[in-house]
Amino acid sequence: MRKRFVSQMLVLPIAFVVLLISCSFAQSAPKQSPDNDWWKHAVFYELYPRSFADSNNDGIGDLRGITSKLDYLKQLGVDAIWLTPCYPSPQVDFGYDISDYENIDPTYGTLQDFDAMEKEGQKRGIRIIMDFVLNHTSDQHPWFIASRSFRTSPYRNWYVWRDGKGPHEPPNNWNSLFGGPAWQWDAKTGQYYYHFFYPQQPDLNWRNPAVEKAMFDVTRWWYKRGVAGFRLDAVDTLFEDPQLHDNPVLPGKNQYGDPNEENKYDQKLPQVHEVLRALRKVADENHAVLIGETYTDNLQQLKQYYGDNQELQMPMDMMLGLVNKISAPAFRHQIALVESSGGWPVYVMNNHDIVRSYNRYGDGKHNDAIAKLMAGLYLTLRGTPILYYGEEIGMENNDPKRKEDVKDPIGKLGWPTNKGRDGERTPMQWSDSANAGFTTGTPWLPVPPSYKTHNVAAESADPNSILEFYRHLLALRHSNQAFIEGKYVPLNEDDPNVLCYLRQSAGQTVVVVLNMSSSARSAHLNLAGSGKTATTLLTTMQQAPKQAALNDMQLDPFAVYIGSVQ
């Protein structure tokens, strides 16, 4: 049986009031103010245009489809959407291979559709963030076509061309992240070019000032069009060692059968930070935000991307989202780490490259409760969250069952060890009608059978659904001062099962209690001087009192409890 959020009689009305307050904000959304810090209190939502909403029923999502769903996003509590790339592209890597940075791919619409979406977003106070793929272009981009046409082409030095070490021998041992050597032989001009990703994604040469200028101008072009910032793709890989030293080889082979290596000379080179600082200046002039695709392993690396507030405002911290086990101590540790970074935390549980959190954290029995638990965690922390479309309805991965169905080239190459990323990119589930109401055509990827129960229409009608939980939680986040600006104060730091903390602002204190176990647990919170009871704001508990005694809280398995402390 599904759990209730709270004793409905008592708390749902409260949550509902909260929701009403936030909706009335929505209606009178002010024109975007030139506030450089707007992103700190915004909720971001990553949206995969190909899979979100299909307005012309060709089986592929499009910009008009997105525009038609802006009210849905507003009601959910979204303030900014990050669109994965929708520029013209041969779609080898589904848009991450761009052939024109200043247009829209006809599959998704036109620049006029973009402008209309942007305008409708503005009306609702929803900003647009574009994905900026700056490490590489498509091999069909005119710059690369010119670059490979002859050795003395003025564009030759826009990409990374090198002679082989010897006949049929690439310049060094670097591997592509997507399998095989990172060097592609070009018979016409008799040299190799470098590609960290697919061969159809040649790396730009960021040591060439002309490249830097052209790419900076792209950002200015979109700022003028009204975008509020960029998600910078693959920033780790912008620069390579000019001496082309071999990477140290590590034991074992990777999923493509290539030798493992340490990315010492092809990732996270210091010059990346110079580019980020310069991009940040342009962003600041435009009151824009820079989000980084930054896969960091430790605090030191994360701090470098904040760069003393001179680089990325929002380096994506995947370390919390990829803890990959429900563990109070592991999450506590990770939160403390980011809190100590000196930067504004950015939390992400899902994206278009990783298996959905519903599967990674779900135990097969309590998946919906766990989905709420994870939301109860990362949406109540200090910092900015980035949601991924569909997580708010508990969408699950739908991996291809047969190799011939795979669309993502990594899945074709890595099958069956790596089935690719199709599973986390399936169409948004709007209703229980055919193809989850995404299209009346043939969807480019199939929806999982769970769309019958996990869809927007069904969950909107169910007060205990994951979607309703997200809505209430985001409304609370937007309206409660402790959530807006309060500091994070960990409590009961040696509890192995229950994660609890306060969010505390000058005038308000909220307690968040999360039972990270499949058994009922109790928590005893002694808040010296700060209060002994909490007024319930939102909970998944079946029997939640209006007032909870903090020194003796009884928690259902995987329960979320949020209360205002007196």
Binding region for ligand GLC (CB under 6 A) = 93, 96, 133, 197, 233-234, 293, 352-353
CB of 130 to ligand GLC, least distance (A): 14
Task: Name the residue whose CB lies closest to ligand GLC.
Answer: 96
Is 186 catalytic? The answer is no
* Dist CA 451 CA 430 (whole Å): 8
Note the residue count of the chain. Answer: 566
Comparing CB distances to ligand GLC, the nearer of 197 and 438 is 197
Q: Which is nearer to ligand GLC, 297 or 493 (CB)?
A: 297
**Smallest distance, ligand GLC to C-beta of residue 390, A:** 16
Q: Which residues contact 500 (CB under 8 A, 6 or more apart)?
A: 490, 491, 492, 511, 512, 513, 514, 523, 525
Cβ neighbours for 118, distance < 8 A, ≥ 6 positions apart: 128, 225, 226, 227
Q: Angle CA(350)–CA(353)–CA(356) in degrees, nearest 5?
A: 40
- How far apart are alpha carbons 320 and 378 in whole angstroms? 9
Nearer to ligand GLC, 176 or 539 (CB): 176
- CB-wise, 98 or 516, nearer to ligand GLC? 98
Q: Is 507 exposed, middle or buried (0-12, 13-18, 19+ CB in 10 A)?
A: exposed
Task: Name the residue type at position 235.
Answer: V
Q: In the Cβ-directed half-sphere of 100, how many Cα atoms lie within 13 Å?
A: 8
- Among 102, 163, 169, 285, the active-site one is 285
Sign of the CA dihedral with 75 first, then 81, 86, and 91 last: negative
Smallest gap from residue 195 Cβ to ligand GLC (A): 10
| Distance in Å, CB of 421 to ligand GLC, minimum | 7
Q: How far is the CB of 453 from ligand GLC (least distance, A)?
A: 29
Q: How many Å apart are CA 493 and CA 499, to the nearest integer? A: 8
Which one of the listed residues 46, 212, 233, 495 is annotated catalytic? Answer: 233
We find the least distance from the C-beta atom of residue 118 to ligand GLC, in angstroms, to be 23
Which residue lies nearer to ligand GLC by CB, 203 or 368? 203
Query: Which CB, 233 or 317, lies closer to ligand GLC?
Result: 233
Q: How far apart are CA 156 and CA 553, in angstroms?
A: 67
Q: Would residue 233 show up in a list of annotated catalytic residues for this protein?
A: yes
Catalytic residues: 233, 285
